[in-house]
Amino acid sequence: MTPGPRREAGYLIAQIHQLAGRILARKLKEHDLDEINPPQGRILFALWRQDGISIQELGERTKLAKSTLTAMLDRLEANGYVRRAPAKADRREILVELTAKDRALRKDYDAVSREMTALFYRGFREQERDRFERYLRRILDNLVAYEATER
Protein backbone atom coordinates (compact mmCIF):
# COMPACT_ATOMS: atom_id res chain seq x y z
CA MET A 1 0.00 0.00 0.00
CA THR A 2 1.40 3.37 -1.02
CA PRO A 3 1.33 6.03 1.70
CA GLY A 4 -0.75 9.11 0.96
CA PRO A 5 0.69 12.58 0.61
CA ARG A 6 2.23 14.03 3.74
CA ARG A 7 0.09 16.70 5.28
CA GLU A 8 1.90 19.58 6.93
CA ALA A 9 -0.93 21.88 8.05
CA GLY A 10 -0.05 21.75 11.75
CA TYR A 11 3.65 22.28 11.05
CA LEU A 12 2.96 25.16 8.65
CA ILE A 13 0.46 26.80 11.02
CA ALA A 14 3.02 26.59 13.85
CA GLN A 15 5.69 28.20 11.68
CA ILE A 16 3.30 30.93 10.53
CA HIS A 17 2.29 31.58 14.15
CA GLN A 18 5.91 31.95 15.31
CA LEU A 19 7.05 34.10 12.41
CA ALA A 20 3.93 36.29 12.40
CA GLY A 21 4.32 36.82 16.15
CA ARG A 22 7.90 38.03 15.73
CA ILE A 23 6.98 40.34 12.85
CA LEU A 24 3.95 41.69 14.72
CA ALA A 25 6.06 42.39 17.82
CA ARG A 26 8.56 44.28 15.63
CA LYS A 27 5.81 46.31 13.98
CA LEU A 28 4.24 47.12 17.35
CA LYS A 29 7.62 48.44 18.50
CA GLU A 30 7.99 50.50 15.31
CA HIS A 31 4.65 52.14 16.13
CA ASP A 32 5.65 52.74 19.78
CA LEU A 33 3.20 50.08 20.93
CA ASP A 34 5.79 47.78 22.46
CA GLU A 35 3.96 47.87 25.80
CA ILE A 36 1.51 45.48 24.10
CA ASN A 37 2.60 42.00 23.01
CA PRO A 38 0.80 39.99 20.31
CA PRO A 39 -1.30 37.82 22.69
CA GLN A 40 -2.37 40.95 24.59
CA GLY A 41 -3.34 42.44 21.25
CA ARG A 42 -5.64 39.45 20.75
CA ILE A 43 -7.37 40.31 24.04
CA LEU A 44 -7.76 43.96 23.05
CA PHE A 45 -9.02 42.97 19.61
CA ALA A 46 -11.76 40.84 21.21
CA LEU A 47 -12.71 43.72 23.50
CA TRP A 48 -12.79 46.17 20.60
CA ARG A 49 -15.39 43.91 19.02
CA GLN A 50 -17.39 43.84 22.24
CA ASP A 51 -16.40 45.72 25.37
CA GLY A 52 -17.44 44.72 28.87
CA ILE A 53 -17.53 40.93 28.51
CA SER A 54 -16.89 38.32 31.17
CA ILE A 55 -13.47 36.79 31.65
CA GLN A 56 -14.95 33.42 30.66
CA GLU A 57 -16.33 34.85 27.40
CA LEU A 58 -13.02 36.58 26.70
CA GLY A 59 -11.22 33.26 27.17
CA GLU A 60 -13.58 31.56 24.74
CA ARG A 61 -13.12 34.29 22.13
CA THR A 62 -9.32 34.43 22.39
CA LYS A 63 -8.76 30.69 22.95
CA LEU A 64 -6.27 31.57 25.70
CA ALA A 65 -5.92 29.26 28.69
CA LYS A 66 -7.38 30.68 31.90
CA SER A 67 -3.99 31.06 33.62
CA THR A 68 -2.48 32.77 30.55
CA LEU A 69 -5.48 35.07 30.19
CA THR A 70 -5.36 36.02 33.88
CA ALA A 71 -1.66 36.87 33.71
CA MET A 72 -2.16 38.99 30.58
CA LEU A 73 -5.15 40.78 32.08
CA ASP A 74 -3.07 41.53 35.17
CA ARG A 75 -0.43 43.17 32.98
CA LEU A 76 -2.94 45.03 30.81
CA GLU A 77 -4.72 46.28 33.92
CA ALA A 78 -1.45 47.33 35.59
CA ASN A 79 -0.58 49.31 32.43
CA GLY A 80 -4.00 50.97 32.41
CA TYR A 81 -5.46 49.40 29.25
CA VAL A 82 -8.30 47.43 30.84
CA ARG A 83 -10.14 47.23 34.13
CA ARG A 84 -12.03 44.41 35.75
CA ALA A 85 -15.35 45.23 37.37
CA PRO A 86 -18.21 43.21 38.84
CA ALA A 87 -21.25 42.82 36.60
CA LYS A 88 -24.24 44.84 37.75
CA ALA A 89 -26.63 41.90 37.30
CA ASP A 90 -24.45 39.41 39.18
CA ARG A 91 -21.60 40.85 41.24
CA ARG A 92 -19.91 37.41 41.29
CA GLU A 93 -19.29 37.74 37.55
CA ILE A 94 -16.27 39.86 36.59
CA LEU A 95 -16.36 41.87 33.37
CA VAL A 96 -13.35 43.17 31.46
CA GLU A 97 -13.71 46.72 30.19
CA LEU A 98 -11.57 48.98 28.04
CA THR A 99 -10.16 52.23 29.38
CA ALA A 100 -9.53 55.61 27.78
CA LYS A 101 -5.83 54.70 27.47
CA ASP A 102 -6.77 51.64 25.43
CA ARG A 103 -9.05 53.59 23.16
CA ALA A 104 -6.20 56.01 22.42
CA LEU A 105 -3.93 53.23 21.11
CA ARG A 106 -6.56 51.56 18.95
CA LYS A 107 -5.92 53.75 15.89
CA ASP A 108 -2.20 52.86 15.89
CA TYR A 109 -2.91 49.18 16.60
CA ASP A 110 -5.41 49.10 13.73
CA ALA A 111 -2.69 50.49 11.43
CA VAL A 112 -0.34 47.67 12.47
CA SER A 113 -3.13 45.16 11.96
CA ARG A 114 -3.75 46.46 8.44
CA GLU A 115 -0.03 46.13 7.68
CA MET A 116 -0.04 42.53 8.89
CA THR A 117 -3.16 41.72 6.88
CA ALA A 118 -1.58 43.18 3.74
CA LEU A 119 1.53 41.09 4.38
CA PHE A 120 -0.47 37.89 4.96
CA TYR A 121 -2.50 38.29 1.79
CA ARG A 122 0.14 39.67 -0.57
CA GLY A 123 -0.51 38.10 -3.99
CA PHE A 124 -3.91 36.63 -3.00
CA ARG A 125 -7.07 37.44 -4.92
CA GLU A 126 -10.18 38.31 -2.88
CA GLN A 127 -11.79 34.96 -3.67
CA GLU A 128 -8.66 33.14 -2.45
CA ARG A 129 -8.70 35.13 0.78
CA ASP A 130 -12.33 34.22 1.42
CA ARG A 131 -11.77 30.53 0.70
CA PHE A 132 -8.63 30.42 2.85
CA GLU A 133 -10.43 31.99 5.81
CA ARG A 134 -13.31 29.52 5.45
CA TYR A 135 -10.80 26.66 5.64
CA LEU A 136 -9.10 28.19 8.68
CA ARG A 137 -12.49 28.52 10.41
CA ARG A 138 -13.21 24.85 9.67
CA ILE A 139 -9.88 23.82 11.19
CA LEU A 140 -10.55 26.00 14.22
CA ASP A 141 -14.04 24.53 14.59
CA ASN A 142 -12.57 21.00 14.41
CA LEU A 143 -10.07 21.81 17.16
CA VAL A 144 -12.67 23.52 19.37
CA ALA A 145 -15.03 20.55 19.02
CA TYR A 146 -12.24 18.11 19.85
CA GLU A 147 -11.16 20.07 22.91
CA ALA A 148 -14.77 20.24 24.13
CA THR A 149 -15.03 16.44 24.05
CA GLU A 150 -11.72 16.05 25.90
CA ARG A 151 -12.75 18.07 28.96
The per-residue pLDDT for 89 is: 85
pTM as predicted: 0.78
Long-range CB contacts for residues 20-23, cutoff 8 Å, separation at least 24: 20/116, 20/120, 23/116, 23/119
Mean pLDDT of 3-27: 90
Domains of the chain: 10-120 (1.10.10.10)
The per-residue pLDDT for 46 is: 94
Alpha helices in 54-96 (DSSP H): 55-62, 66-78
3-state secondary structure of 122: coil
C-alpha to C-alpha distance for 79 and 96, rounded to whole angstroms: 14
The per-residue pLDDT for 4 is: 67
Most confident segment among 4-18, 88-102, 116-130: 116-130
